[in-house]
Amino acid sequence: MNRISELFGSMSFNDEVMREKLPKEIYKSLHKTIEEGTDLDITVANVVANAMKDWAIEKGATHYTHWFQPMTGITAEKHDSFLTPSGNGKVIMEFSGKELIKGEPDASSFPSGGLRSTFEARGYTTWDPTSYAFIKDDSLCIPTVFCSYGGQVLDKKTPLLRSMERVNEQTLRILKLFGMNDVTHVSSTVGAEQEYFLIDRDVYNKRKDLMLTGRTMFGTKPPKCQELDDHYFGAIKPRVMAFMKELNEELWKVGIYAKTEHNEAAPAQHELAPVFTTTNIATDQNQLTMEIMKRVAIRHNMICLLHEKPFGCVNGSGKHNNWSLSTNTGVNLFNPGKNPADNKLFLLFLCAVIKAVDEHQDLLRISVASAGNDHRLGADEAPPAIVSIYLGEQLTDVLASIEHDTDYTEAKAQRMSTGVHVLADFRKDTSDRNRTSPFAFTGNKFEFRMLGSTLSIAEPNIVLNTIAADVFSEFADRLEKAQDFEHELKALLKETIRDHKRIIFNGNNYSQDWVELAEKRGLLNLKTTADAAPHYTDEKNVALFERQRIFTSSELESRRDIMLEHYNNVYHIEIETMLEMVHRDILPAVFTYSADLAQMIEAKQAIGMEDAAGKGVLTKVNKLTDELYRNTAVLEDVNAVFNSIANPMERANYCRDHAISAMDATRKAVDRLEDLVDAKIWPYPSYSDLLFSVDS
Ligand code: ADP
Ligand code: MG
């Protein structure tokens, strides 16, 4: 434990370090900025910059970088040296407040969705003092937001910070109504559980598809997949253990407390859960976690796969976004307490979230949409593309009793006798966590489970905070005007439950029955990114984001287009990769095998031997080869059309309607050939080779 406490945060310029290294006044002033969002004074910034630099140099850093999150979804950094020429041929180590606060990356190639023309291409970066600076690879990394000169948002952090501010403002209004005047700040908190695969690096290096696209474009199902469930929570292999140990230490150093790690459902799949923190720090930490995971894996000659669906036959990887609201006095606002039926404050926040999720199903779906995640949502392994809330029976009964003015025990008894619950396979235990729900209330927080494993958690949390803040503000408006607060509150809860209970579903989200029932309830089912993206700029959503001052309508349009372009680019690369693999590796291997067979058959015939088996296999191989050739030709044609479409929305629609099925057909033929062709000739490691590559 001693070693851990020594390591923990040793590379993070955290509160403790700031308190120690900064003069009292400066520390206080910085704290005010962090807590109240006041502007940072340049004199304060100068002192902080100097202390940060001295601390970083002491830790061996030579460079600093403004670490930011452009709309690519990954982090970007530009390194500058602390060294400044001092005039006499010598150098001194310098870092000023100006350099801390503001950076100017030449960032014209980051996607901006048309927001910046090249003449004003230089966005600028500003220090985000609410997230701690840290040292990585001898560089002091300064968490930063990224904007254009016109003030347009070009990154994921700026809107996230704005959305946190809105939640704070609106939650405080509600708390005031409940007499909680001691609370001065409310933060949205997040703990992001991260799934990933580990495979051996040598095997990975033989798979072009994994290297170019992050997923296998081909691969027949191995004899053993995840049927036995022997991996889930099973014993961790020594090599993986060594990786996890080092990963933990690296994470601890930068102040990320990774709490649990266990094997997931699929072979070679694992999960990491950090201790929760404020949303923006959690976002930075999750980005950093993914980056460190990949780096540590390489040191162990493994590759960490963060793609949502690296393998066809086993579960893909997701991310669970545990979200809650917590006051500076330490109260979790989603804590139901012992008696939720009497906890009006809790019920109000709960109902607000129910309304927010119901009214903005589209935005939650959009916030997790990507080409990779489309493979998971609705595929019997991850929640469906339909957004619904799991509350558990107890809370559902509490809400029913409010709606119908009955008492809680009565409502419960009624449900038991009439069996109102639609699907009978739900367990009676109220504490049971329904793993199939996309948005589950899990005791004192909501767990949003639709996120893909590579996704930045910024986007879903921008949406969560914004939609929550919007409903809180509506509720506050109404309750502030009320003559009789208790009466109005009761009416508000009742109405909200009546109007939005359709979003509550405690049953099995994976079942076909639910798809049909959800449709009857009028819930959205936006199956693919192409279906979801256009809703980003629906009138309702533009109004919401403008009302909450998160995005302007042109910023929303740009984000929609970036999303679509990314989707199209992913498919473009995947199709090109497939075509190259088929033409240059797979067909040649199949031809070799066919020639070998033909030669053998001929040789046998020459000495008067019939070869039924050889002929049988050759016939099958030949038929499949023809099929593969035809399907690949179709894919080539489709690709040509796909590449000729300029409009990103039309292109995405074409992809959904034509490209994906052509890709599937090509893959099917290849996978059936892999089942038949000599393993020694097949050009790529098999799924067994990949999934069981880390076996010691
Ligand atoms: P489980 O029983 O599902 O493992 P945990 O309490 O361990 O639940 O939490 C799972 C994840 O949820 C962790 O990453 C944890 O940090 C996070 N979490 C717990 N409480 C909160 C909260 N109040 N706000 C945000 N995230 C939370
Ligand atoms: Mg979870």
User: Per-residue pLDDT for 118 more than 60?
Assistant: no
Grade residue 31 by pLDDT with cuts at 50, 70 and 90: confident
Q: Write the burial class of residue 696 (CB in 10 Å: 0-12 exposed, 13-18 middle, 19+ buried).
A: exposed
Q: What's the pLDDT tens digit per position in 40-66?
A: 788 888 999 999 999 999 999 988 888
pLDDT value of position 149: 65
Nearest-CA residue for ligand 1 atom 23 is: 324
CATH code of the region 3-155: 3.10.20.70
**Ligand 1 center from residue 333 Cα (angstroms):** 14
pTM beyond 0.85: yes
Q: What's the pLDDT tens digit per position in 644-679?
A: 999 999 999 999 999 999 999 999 999 999 999 999
Q: Which helix (H) or strand (E) holds 450?
A: strand 446-452
Half-sphere exposure of 94 (CA within 13 A, CB side): 10
Place of tokens 């995971």: 293
DSSP for 200-228 reads: EHHHHTT-HHHHHHSS-S--PPPS-SSTT
Q: Letter for the amino acid at 640? A: A
Query: What ligand 1 atom has the least distance to the C-alpha of 192?
Result: 14
Which of 165-179, 258-272, 413-427 has the largest mean confidence? 165-179
Place of tokens 């050939």: 673
Tokens representing 316 are: 């893909």
pLDDT value of position 425: 32
Residue 383, C-beta contacts closer than 8 angstroms, at least 6 positions apart: 377, 436, 437, 438, 449, 450, 509
The β-bridge partners of 139 are 63, 136
Asked if 222 and 688 touch (Cβ cutoff 8 Å), the reply is yes
Asked if 302 and 198 touch (Cβ cutoff 8 Å), the reply is yes
**Ligand 1 center from residue 276 Cα (angstroms):** 6
Q: What's the pLDDT tens digit per position in 475-488?
A: 999 999 999 999 99
What region, left, alpha or beta, does residue 240 occupy, with left being phi > 0 and alpha being psi -120 to 50 degrees? alpha
Q: What's the pLDDT tens digit per position in 354-377?
A: 999 999 999 999 999 999 999 999
Share of the chain above pLDDT 90, in %: 70
Q: Which helix (H) or strand (E) holds 186?
A: strand 186-200
Rg (C-alpha) for the chain, rounded Å, is 28
Query: What ligand 1 atom has the least distance to the C-alpha of 324?
Result: 24
More confident position, 121 or 68: 68
More confident position, 511 or 434: 511
Query: What ligand 1 atom has the least distance to the C-alpha of 275?
Result: 16
Place of tokens 């002033």: 29
Which of 94-103, 116-125, 235-244, 368-377 is predicted with the least confidence, judged by mean pLDDT? 116-125
Residue 628: closest CA among 595, 566, 676 = 676
Average pLDDT over the chain reads: 89
Longest pairwise C-alpha distance within the chain? 104
Asked if 453 and 293 touch (Cβ cutoff 8 Å), the reply is no
**Ligand 2 center from residue 193 Cα (angstroms):** 6
3-class DSSP state of 440: strand
User: Per-residue pLDDT for 227 more than 70?
Assistant: no
pLDDT value of position 526: 96
pLDDT value of position 267: 83
Which of 432, 445, 457, 461 most suits a substitution to test ligand 1, by most atoms within 8 Å of the C-beta? 445
Instruction: Please check whether the domain covering 163-412+428-566 is classified as CATH 3.30.590.10.
Output: yes
Q: How far apart are CA 365 and CA 526, in angstroms?
A: 7
pLDDT value of position 420: 46
Tokens representing 562 are: 């970036």
Nearest-CA residue for ligand 1 atom 11 is: 191
pLDDT value of position 113: 65
Q: How large is the average pLDDT for residues 571-577?
A: 98
pLDDT value of position 491: 97
Grade residue 427 by pLDDT with cuts at 50, 70 and 90: very low
Grade residue 472 by pLDDT with cuts at 50, 70 and 90: very high
Q: How far apart are CA 645 and CA 509, in angstroms?
A: 36
pLDDT value of position 263: 75
Q: How far apart are CA 652 and CA 560, in angstroms?
A: 12
- Report how far apart, in Å, the C-alpha atoms of 221 and of each of 226, 313, 333, 675, 686 are: 11, 6, 47, 9, 9
Q: DSSP alpha helices (H): ranges in 482-500?
A: 485-500
Helix/strand/coil percentages in the chain, nearest 5: 50, 15, 35
User: Per-residue pLDDT for 417 more than 70?
Assistant: no
Tokens representing 93 are: 């180590």
pLDDT value of position 107: 55
**Ligand 1 center from residue 431 Cα (angstroms):** 15
Which of 102-116, 149-163, 680-694 has the largest mean confidence? 680-694
pLDDT value of position 75: 79
Nearest-CA residue for ligand 1 atom 3 is: 442
3-class DSSP state of 270: strand
Instruction: Please check whether the domain covering 567-691 is classified as CATH 2.130.10.10.
Output: no
Q: What's the pLDDT tens digit per position in 495-552?
A: 999 999 999 999 999 999 999 999 999 999 999 999 999 999 999 999 999 999 999 9
Nearest-CA residue for ligand 1 atom 1 is: 442
Rounded to 5 degrees, what angle do the CA atoms 271, 274, 277 make? 150
Which of 143-157, 249-263, 327-341, 617-631 is predicted with the least confidence, judged by mean pLDDT? 143-157
pLDDT value of position 105: 61
Q: How far apart are CA 315 and CA 337, in angstroms?
A: 36
For 588-618, b where at least 16 C-beta lie within 10 A, e where not — what string? Answer: ebbeebbeebeeebeeeeeeeeebeebbebb
User: Per-residue pLDDT for 335 more than 50?
Assistant: yes
Task: Parse the chain into domains and list their residue ranges.
Answer: 3-155, 163-412+428-566, 567-691
Query: What ligand 1 atom has the least distance to the C-alpha of 273?
Result: 14
> Residues near ligand 1 with C-beta < 6 Å?
189-191, 193, 273-276, 322-324, 332, 442, 444-445
More confident position, 107 or 243: 243
3-class DSSP state of 155: strand
Place of tokens 């404050």: 345
**Ligand 2 center from residue 449 Cα (angstroms):** 7
